[in-house]
């Protein structure tokens, strides 16, 4: 294993015995890097322990926050608190975009005035949007450490930080793994079908980009590679398992949002849902459960005053429903421009 970069003593700009450290973890960004690149993936507990230990090597840790949408995450935020990292809830936008970078940046800037004793900021993320924050902190005389997956961390972050720590070296895992090809003729669609059904019940609309970037993971679809997730959605559309349609974007100049609904008339969809209903009935008796495999439905945020399911399905594929939503998602976000936008 390569020598830890934070153990190098030459030209060290950190006064470790006297330094006061703030740790800011963009968990949504790091979670995606781990899912896509790391094998074997570390547990959230291991991640917390390693990050806190690493931050402690730069001085005394006074503040440690983890930012994520715990309302839809399978990760228990209490695992962070048990390891001295405070979980901060940042709800995902309706269009599926997360706001962790904005909330984290605002909190970090606020500490310049509320906790001026902090002189080392450890930012755990590969998101290039943090470059402006990093420059602001350095102009204020603070030292900045960036920790992120090497393949996912913006070059400007690496070059501009006082120290860059590759996440794969910190965790002691391989950063790349061979992607096994999917035998699509043998693919089991049941988990995906139940997942989309559960999302369709709970959300005003199911954005394709949201599903591709935030929802699909090895636990609910068996895939971790981004390209394979995209291919999964494309094939689901090609086989008419899901029906794409457009949601009007009321933001000025915003492109329509590509959304999807489950095709309940598809023979495979009917078979999967009927089988699931029979299995749930046998396991639970007369009380019906809304949760799909792994209890996913419990982690989907409910929306107040949601229209009836029949009302949501009034719009034919390719037509915008009567309701409109704020979003900045481009309609052609699946890599196949114009092909399935209706």
Whole-number pLDDT of residue 342:
38
Same domain, 31 and 128: yes
Considering 138, 171, 204, which residue would you say is the last residue of a domain? 171
Instruction: Tell me which residue range forms the domain holding 280.
Output: 184-312
pLDDT band at 266 (very low <50, low <70, confident <90, very high): very high
Asked if residue 220 is part of any domain, the answer here is: yes
Q: At what angle do helices 131-139 and 100-114 cross, to 10 degrees?
A: 10
- Tally of domains within the chain: 2
Domain shared by 194 and 147, yes or no: no
**Do residues 165 and 240 make contact, with C-beta atoms less than 8 angstroms apart?**
no
The verdict on residue 28 lying in a domain is yes
* pLDDT single digits (tens) 270-299: 999 999 888 887 776 655 444 444 444 444
Measured CA to CA, the distance from residue 255 to residue 258 in angstroms comes to 9
Clarify whether residues 229 and 200 are in a common domain: yes
More confident residue, 342 or 20: 20
Q: Are residues 86 and 197 both part of a single domain? A: no
Residue, of 4 and 51, whose pLDDT is higher: 51
Q: 209 with 142, same domain? A: no
pLDDT at 339 over 80: no
* pLDDT per position as a tens digit, 106-136: 999 999 999 999 999 999 999 988 999 999 9
Measure the CA–CA gap between 40 and 318, rounded to whole angstroms.
Answer: 41
Query: Which phi and psi (to 5°) does residue 247 adopt?
Result: -110, 130
The CATH number given to whatever domain includes residue 296 is: 1.10.10
Band of residue 187 on the pLDDT scale cut at 50, 70, 90: very high
Residue with tokens 């402690």: 56
Residue 77 inside a domain? The answer is yes
- Rounded to two decimals, what is the model's pTM? 0.54
Residue 116 lies in a domain: yes
Q: Identify the domain boundary among 119, 146, 171.
A: 171
DSSP 24-68: EEEHHHHHHHHHHH-BSPPPHHHHHHHHHHHHHTTSEEEEEEEEE
Instruction: Say whether both 32 and 165 belong to one domain.
Output: yes
* Residues β-bridged to residue 103: none
Of 123, 141, 171, the one marking the end of a domain is 171
Q: Which segment, 140-154, 176-190, 218-232, is predicted with the most confidence on average? A: 140-154
Q: Is 312 left (phi over 0), alpha (psi -120 to 50) or beta?
A: alpha
Closest CA to 82 of 41, 124, 45: 45
Which alpha helices (H) appear in 83-225, and where do they start and end? 100-114, 131-139, 155-160, 167-171, 190-202, 208-210
Indicate whether 161 and 18 sit together in one domain.
Answer: yes
Residue 33 sits in the same domain as residue 132? yes
Mean pLDDT of all residues in 41-45: 84
191 and 144, same domain (yes or no): no
In a domain, 327, yes or no: no
Domain annotation covers residue 1: no
Residue 284 in any domain: the answer is: yes
Same domain? For 210 and 86 the reply is: no
Distance CA 280, CA 201 (A): 17
Q: What tens digit of pLDDT does each residue of 296-317 get?
A: 444 444 444 444 444 444 444 4
* Lowest-pLDDT range of 153-157, 167-171, 177-181: 177-181
| Statement to judge: residues 101 and 42 lie in one domain | yes
Is the model's pLDDT at 329 over the cut of 60? no
String of b and e for 120-149 (b: at least 16 CB within 10 Å)?
Answer: bbbbbbbbebbbebbeebeeeebbbbbbbb
CATH number of 67's domain: 3.40.50.1010
**Start-to-end Cα distance in the chain:** 51
Decide if 5 is inside a domain: no
pLDDT surpasses 80 at 8? no
Note the pLDDT of residue 176. Answer: 53
Query: Average of pLDDT values for 256-277?
Result: 90
Tell whether 199 and 68 lie within a shared domain: no
């Amino acid at each position: 294993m390569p020598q830890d970069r934070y153990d190098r003593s030459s030209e060290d700009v950190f006064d470790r015995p006297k330094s006061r450290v703030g740790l800011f973890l963009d968990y949504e960004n790091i979670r995606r890097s781990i899912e896509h690149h790391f094998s074997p993936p570390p547990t959230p507990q291991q991640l917390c322990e390693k990050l806190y230990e690493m931050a402690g090597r730069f001085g005394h840790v006074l503040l440690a926050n983890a930012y994520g949408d715990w309302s839809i995450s399978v990760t228990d935020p209490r695992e962070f608190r048990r390891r001295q990292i405070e979980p901060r809830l940042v709800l995902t936008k309706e269009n599926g975009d997360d706001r962790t970078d904005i909330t984290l940046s605002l909190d970090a800037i606020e500490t310049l005035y509320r906790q001026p004793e902090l002189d080392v900021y450890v930012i755990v993320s590969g998101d290039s949007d943090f470059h402006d924050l990093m420059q602001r902190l350095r102009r204020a005389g603070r030292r900045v450490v960036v920790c992120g997956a090497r393949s996912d961390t913006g070059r400007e972050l690496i070059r501009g930080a006082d120290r860059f720590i590759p996440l794969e070296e910190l965790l002691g895992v391989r950063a790349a793994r061979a992607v096994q090809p999917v035998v699509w003729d043998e693919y089991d669609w049941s988990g995906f079908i139940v997942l989309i059904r559960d999302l369709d019940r709970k959300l005003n609309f199911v954005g394709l980009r949201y599903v591709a970037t935030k929802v699909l993971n090895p636990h609910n679809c068996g895939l971790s590679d981004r390209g394979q997730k995209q291919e999964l959605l494309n094939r689901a559309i090609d086989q008419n398992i899901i029906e794409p349609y457009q949601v009007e974007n009321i933001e000025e100049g915003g492109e329509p949002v590509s959304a999807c609904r489950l095709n309940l008339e598809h023979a495979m969809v009917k078979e999967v849902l009927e089988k699931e209903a029979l299995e749930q009935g046998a396991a639970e008796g007369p009380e019906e459960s809304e949760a799909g495999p792994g209890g996913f439905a419990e982690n989907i945020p409910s929306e107040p005053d949601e229209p009836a399911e029949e009302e949501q399905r009034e719009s034919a594929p390719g037509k915008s429903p009567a309701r409109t939503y704020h979003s900045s998602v481009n309609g052609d976000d699946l890599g196949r421009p114009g092909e399935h936008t209706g």
